[in-house]
Structure 1
Amino acid sequence: MENVKVGIIGIGNMGSSHSLYLNNGEVPGAVLTAVCDQNPERLKWAKETLGENIQMFDNTESFFEFGDIDAVIVATPHYDHPPLAIKALQKGIHVLVEKPVGVFTKNVRELNEVAEKSGKVFGIMFNQRTNPLYQKLRDLVQSGELGEIKRTNWIITDWYRSQSYYDSGGWRATWAGEGGGVLANQDPHQLDLWQWTSGLMPKRVRAFCGFGKFHNIEVEDDVTAYVEYENGATGVFVTSTGDAPGTNRYEISGDRGKLVVEDGKLTFWRLRQSEREFNREYKGGFGEPECWKIDIPIKGEATQHKGITTNWVNAILHGTELLGPGEEGIKGLEISNAIHLSAWTDDWVDLPINEDLFYSKLQEKIKTSTFKKNIVADRTLNIQGTH
């Protein structure tokens, strides 16, 4: 295979962006050959913008049957990601799915099983993993430079959204349309980075969510979650779309100091001596280990969505290791599901979560949702792009 023939399902905001850089030849070894969307206006845009050489489809059945494709990017609403990805993989097509990988882990686990058996390249659009800032943060943690982790804290509240934003689409901020609020829409990247950079998955979660706290919506727009890890470390994740101005500050504290990401910078408050060693050896009453404030130099640039797509294409053509393996999408989603379930049950939630309980609770929310299109019954019908 000299080139990968790529099709896109869903050409809304994200899908159209992918189509443009692919059609412009900005991903070596990839050729855009087909797009699929049930919205006639989006297909009209595709024809006018991408050219008549691109195959146009208004349903996935025809797309998979007649599309001249080796690989597909799934850029539809959240619920449709797993069923469409499964369908593609079963037909021998490589898959790159937009974040989040899905809404509930029960069907994402099925997707992962299908992907493993398929032998095809399955990636997820975790474009923040291309950011050298987070790559360096992860490197400092994984190399042992920070020592054993004691605490993680992420305040990510710079997602401010007005009511008019939510009113712009009937599917927005609904259980049936998106499957969640700030956790499902704004935070999938942070939930992924939280566990990817620290190397830790919580063992249990206690969370509090405000559902429609700052907006007239049915899903969460304010979240505070407390987590505990297997090694005894703890963590806090705070997020909201109702804070103005918001904050984006991520801290990881360890035995050898503290790493802080804020304002696009990485700072290492490095202890000259391990805190645990100092605690055992120091005899002077008041005192603390000597600490150096180090501004960590960050080299390179974040290649974002195009970088993930390029990496995925290289994995197909050359066996390059994926930066965003699709199977890892379930990790951040499980944290998100655990936060929702803890808030719904007003109790602690252990990980791995009770997937059947979460699914039943979600179905209860969907039944009372204000978004009532037939896609609730048959998600695969909803192939328009997310806008």
Structure 2
Amino acid sequence: MEKVRIGIIGIGGMGTGHAKNIIAGKVPHAELTAVFDISAERLEWAKQNFSDKVKIFDDVDAFFQSKAFDAVIIATLHYDHPVLAIQALNHGYHTMIEKPAGVYTKAVSEMNEVALQSDKVFGIMYNQRTNPVYRKLKELIDSGELGEIKRSIWIITNWYRPQSYYDAREWRATWAGEGGGVLLNQDPHQLDLWQWTCGMPKRVRSFMSFGKYHDIEVEDDVTTHVEYENGATGLFVTSTGEAPGTNRFEITGDRGKIVIEDDKLTFWRLRVSEREFNRDFKGGFGSPECWKCEIPTPGENTQHVGILNDWVNAILHGTQLIAPGIEGIKGLSLSNAMHLSAWTDSWVDLPFDENLFYEKLKERIDNSTFKKTTGKEVTLDVAGTH
């Protein structure tokens, strides 16, 4: 196979972007051969803008049975990601899902089980993993240069959205349509990068406001405290209601401090570890010698195109993925635990009670404005898709 034939499910904003990148030759070893959507308007757009070589489908079963492609990109609403990924994998297609992996981990766990039993390449669109700044951060932490992590703080409040943004789509910022707010829509990349570099915490305590700055039913302001097995702590602060916002990620370790802000990585590097200095220094007042280092982060931030090329290369040559699909459950576990902590007003241990989260989410879906105004049902029974 010289080229991977790709079918796209969902040609809204993200799906259209992927389609255009493939057609433009930005993924050299891939070709677009099919698309599916439930929107007649989007299908008509596809007919007008894609060549006759791209088959257009309005029936998902016909799409999967067509064998008009080798691999599937799923770019739909959040709830559908696990459902469609399971179908794609069971039909024998390599699969790429957009972020987040899903809305609740019960569904994503089942998706992962199917993926692990499959011999197909399963990826997730965590395009921020291609950013040289975060790749360098992971390298510094994994190599031990920062030492044992003591604390991490990510303030990511430059997600400002006006009310008109939410009003533009009826499913946005609703429990039935989107499954959450800033944590599910804007922050999946940051939650993934947080756990990718610092690891998963052992427990979470979250405080959030629902519709604090907007006329919406989901969270638009979140402050979360986490604790790790080694005693380290972390803080995650996010909002869509602050302007101007901040994007600052700070990690303190035994051997210094790293700050990522304005796409720059700065390492305040201690010449000796703090623990060693604390043990051996006898002068009363004092602190370890520290060098401020502006760390170079060479390389191109290839973003979505980079993840697609990485996925296609893995299909063709068996290379290791930058963003394996089964890792999508980690960032989602953080957001689920945050929601559950806020809903129960208590600490939540990881792994958390998936059944309790599922029950609490379903209560909110049943009372969601999206469900009440459209009459649309949310299918939570992923097993029924096998």
Structure-2-length-normalised TM-score: 0.97
Query: Corresponding residue for 1:336?
Result: 335
Could you tell me which amino acid in structure 2 is paired with residue 92 of structure 1?
G
Q: Distance in 1 between matches of 2:213 and 2:84?
A: 34
Could you tell me which amino acid in structure 1 is paired with residue 366 of structure 2?
K
- Residue 379 to residue 62, structure 1, CA distance change in 2 (3 Å): farther
Q: Distance in 1 between matches of 2:50 and 2:133?
A: 34
Instruction: State whether residues 34 and 67 of structure 1, in contact with CA within 8 Å, keep that contact through their aligned partners in structure 2.
Output: no
Could you tell me which amino acid in structure 2 is paired with residue 42 of structure 1?
R
Instruction: Give the alignment of 1:209-220 within 5 angstroms.
Output: 209-220=208-219
Instruction: Give the alignment of 1:136-215 within 5 angstroms.
Output: 136-198=136-198, 200-215=199-214
Q: Distance in 2 between matches of 1:115 and 1:175?
A: 27
Q: Distance in 1 between matches of 2:294 and 2:75?
A: 38
Instruction: Tell me, yes or no, if structure 1 residue 292 matches structure 2 residue 291.
Output: yes
SS of the aligned residue for 2:79 comes to helix
Instruction: State whether residues 176 and 378 of structure 2, in contact with CA within 8 Å, keep that contact through their aligned partners in structure 1.
Output: no
SS of the aligned residue for 1:376 comes to coil
- Residue 346 to residue 187, structure 1, CA distance change in 2 (3 Å): same
SS of the aligned residue for 1:46 comes to helix
Instruction: State whether residues 80 and 379 of structure 1, in contact with CA within 8 Å, keep that contact through their aligned partners in structure 2.
Output: no
Q: Distance in 1 between matches of 2:116 and 2:272?
A: 45
Instruction: Give the alignment of 1:62-73 within 5 angstroms.
Output: 62-73=62-73
Could you tell me which amino acid in structure 2 is paired with residue 181 of structure 1?
G
Query: Corresponding residue for 1:273?
Result: 272
User: 1:128-166: per-residue Cα shift (whole Å, max 9, x none)?
Assistant: 000001000100000000000000100000000001111
Q: Give, in angstroms, the shift of residue 49 of structure 1.
A: 1.5
Q: Give, in angstroms, the shift of residue 118 of structure 1.
A: 1.0
Query: Corresponding residue for 2:363?
Result: 364
Instruction: Give the alignment of 1:32-71 within 5 angstroms.
Output: 32-71=32-71
Query: Corresponding residue for 1:385?
Result: none
SS of the aligned residue for 1:324 comes to coil
Q: Give, in angstroms, the shift of residue 375 of structure 1.
A: 4.5
User: 1:37-89: per-residue Cα shift (whole Å, max 9, x none)?
Assistant: 11111112112222222100112111111250110000000000000000000
Query: Corresponding residue for 1:135?
Result: 135
Instruction: State whether residues 89 and 118 of structure 1, in contact with CA within 8 Å, keep that contact through their aligned partners in structure 2.
Output: yes
User: 1:104-124: per-residue Cα shift (whole Å, max 9, x none)?
Assistant: 000100000000001110000
Query: Corresponding residue for 2:27?
Result: 27
Could you tell me which amino acid in structure 2 is paired with residue 165 of structure 1?
Y
SS of the aligned residue for 1:371 comes to helix
Could you tell me which amino acid in structure 2 is paired with residue 205 of structure 1?
V
User: 1:331-385: per-residue Cα shift (whole Å, max 9, x none)?
Assistant: 00000000000000000000001000000100000000000245424479xxxxx
SS of the aligned residue for 1:161 comes to coil
SS of the aligned residue for 1:302 comes to coil
SS of the aligned residue for 2:369 comes to coil
Q: Distance in 1 between matches of 2:170 and 2:24?
A: 33
Instruction: State whether residues 20 and 50 of structure 1, in contact with CA within 8 Å, keep that contact through their aligned partners in structure 2.
Output: no
Query: Corresponding residue for 1:376?
Result: 377
Q: Distance in 2 between matches of 1:352 and 1:28?
A: 41
Could you tell me which amino acid in structure 2 is paired with residue 126 of structure 1?
Y
Q: Distance in 1 between matches of 2:33 and 2:171?
A: 29
Instruction: Tell me, yes or no, if structure 1 residue 233 matches structure 2 residue 255.
Output: no
Q: Give, in angstroms, the shift of residue 236 of structure 1.
A: 0.2
Instruction: State whether residues 370 and 376 of structure 2, in contact with CA within 8 Å, keep that contact through their aligned partners in structure 1.
Output: no
Could you tell me which amino acid in structure 1 is paired with residue 219 of structure 2?
E
- Unmatched 5+ stretches in structure 2: 382-386
SS of the aligned residue for 1:151 comes to strand
Instruction: State whether residues 6 and 31 of structure 2, in contact with CA within 8 Å, keep that contact through their aligned partners in structure 1.
Output: yes
Moved more, 312-321 or 44-53: 44-53
Q: Give, in angstroms, the shift of residue 253 of structure 1.
A: 0.4
Query: Corresponding residue for 2:91?
Result: 91
Q: Let me know the Cα RMSD of the aligned residues.
A: 1.1
Q: Distance in 2 between matches of 1:40 and 1:211?
A: 34
Aligned residues: 379
Q: Distance in 1 between matches of 2:243 and 2:318?
A: 45
**Aligned structure 1 segments of 4 or more residues deviating by more than 6 angstroms:** none
- Residue 137 to residue 94, structure 1, CA distance change in 2 (3 Å): same
SS of the aligned residue for 1:78 comes to coil
- Residue 66 to residue 374, structure 1, CA distance change in 2 (3 Å): farther
Q: Give, in angstroms, the shift of residue 213 of structure 1.
A: 0.6
% identical aligned pairs: 67
Could you tell me which amino acid in structure 2 is paired with residue 189 of structure 1?
H
Q: Distance in 2 between matches of 1:177 and 1:17?
A: 22
Q: Distance in 1 between matches of 2:225 and 2:166?
A: 28
Structure-1-length-normalised TM-score: 0.96
SS of the aligned residue for 1:359 comes to helix
User: 1:278-302: per-residue Cα shift (whole Å, max 9, x none)?
Assistant: 1011111111111110000110111
Instruction: Tell me, yes or no, if structure 1 residue 13 matches structure 2 residue 46.
Output: no
Could you tell me which amino acid in structure 2 is paired with residue 263 of structure 1?
D
Q: Distance in 2 between matches of 1:62 and 1:90?
A: 15
Q: Distance in 2 between matches of 1:7 and 1:252?
A: 40
Could you tell me which amino acid in structure 2 is paired with residue 148 of structure 1?
E
Instruction: Tell me, yes or no, if structure 1 residue 317 matches structure 2 residue 307.
Output: no
Moved more, 60-69 or 255-264: 60-69
Q: Distance in 2 between matches of 1:286 and 1:113?
A: 55
